[in-house]
Amino acid sequence: MAYEQILFETKESVAWIRLNRPEKLNALTHQLAAEALDAIDVCTKEPEIRCLVVTGEGRGFCAGQDLTEFQRDGLENLSVAEHLRSSYNRLIQALVDLPKPVVAGVNGVAAGAGASLAAACDIRIASETASFVQAFVKIGLVPDSGGTWLLPRIVGFATALELSITGRKVDASEAHRIGLVNGVVPADGFAEEVEARARSLAQLPTRAIGATKRIMAEALGLSLPETLEREAVLQQEMAGSDDFREGVTAFTEKREPRFTGR
Ligand code: LHQ
């Protein structure tokens, strides 16, 4: 697929999806979501890719749904529900399901579905210029693109509800304090810092990370006995991996492990 609204490249086992509509703060369109979904599919299939970074070009991360798209592209004939089902829901699910670490490099404002997009990533690194707005309520909508599921799991129910019903903007330092982001980095050198963190994630045992993502999300809806059983099954799988053998061998040989993601 030729990409027009994202930039997609892979560098040293790290894939980068850069939302590329900077003049609109990377507001989401049907096309942008389709392109990102295609790129995520490449990340799933390509074993050399061991980490994905999602970030934005220009001063914004993602301003959520492009509010002008409905008129311009004739989307008024497509119901909002169908638009979500065929577009953003698939994008969010693909990020959550990607069996590799996904980093959101939140370079600027993340609003509406853009905030949900960041929430669907495994690790959020914010520039000090980043902010988060649950903008939905400001235009009479409920949070979508997984926001009602993801946000309470990240910041807890009370804070998620408060942010969602007020639409109050959260700056980077508050986002860090409430656990919405994992770290805040100076704007100067932000991309380099995200790249360094993504590179080190790409050197970890990728299969174990993929399985950890899966089981942790599942466990939130399971009982303890069910979870213990899932852990036993998955651990059996991991124990058959090259990375497990390498991890144990490196430990006994008192050296750093060299994981391959297999
Ligand atoms: C935009 C947008 C934007 C178009 C900035 N669209 N142009 C909803 C509906 C249906 C189905 C699917 O799902 C959804 C889910 C959603 O995502 S609903 C929420 C949609 N997003 C919003 O309501 C956020 C709207 N934007 C804003 O509130 C502000 O722009 C934020 C707080 C993001 C940033 O504010 P500023 O830093 O002051 O920037 P700005 O407002 O000046 O925006 C810069 C430009 O980007 C501007 O264009 P212009 O031509 O005037 O320079 C904006 O019009 C454009 N832009 N967001 N969502």
109 C-alpha to ligand 1 centroid (Å)? 10
251 C-alpha to ligand 1 centroid (Å)? 51
| pLDDT in the model for residue 69 | 85
| pLDDT in the model for residue 75 | 59
Buried b (16+ CB within 10 A) or exposed e, 185-203: bebeebbebbbebbbebbb
25 C-alpha to ligand 1 centroid (Å)? 7
> Which atom of ligand 1 lies closest to the CA of 70?
10
Ligand 1 site-directed mutation target among 26, 57, 65, 151, most atoms within 8 Å of CB: 65
Distances (CA, A) of 46 to 5, 104, 243, 251: 22, 20, 18, 29
| pLDDT in the model for residue 251 | 98
> Which atom of ligand 1 lies closest to the CA of 138?
23
Please, what is the end-to-end C-alpha distance for the chain in angstroms? 28
Cβ–Cβ < 8 Å for 130, 108: yes
Integer Cα distance of 20 and 84 in angstroms: 21
Strands 14-19, 51-56: pairing kind:
parallel
pTM surpassing 0.75? yes
Q: Is 84 in the pocket of ligand 1 (CB under 6 A)?
A: yes
For the chain, residues with pLDDT lower than 70 are 71, 73-78
Q: Tens of pLDDT along 131-162?
A: 999 999 999 999 999 999 999 999 999 999 99
Q: Is 52 in the pocket of ligand 1 (CB under 6 A)?
A: no
Q: From start to end of the chain, where are the E strands?
A: 6-11, 14-19, 51-56, 60-62, 102-106, 109-111, 123-127, 131-133, 170-171, 183-185
Integer Cα distance of 124 and 182 in angstroms: 5
> Which atom of ligand 1 lies closest to the CA of 67?
6
Q: Is 18 in the pocket of ligand 1 (CB under 6 A)?
A: no
Q: Tens of pLDDT along 158-202?
A: 999 999 999 999 999 999 999 999 999 999 999 999 999 999 999
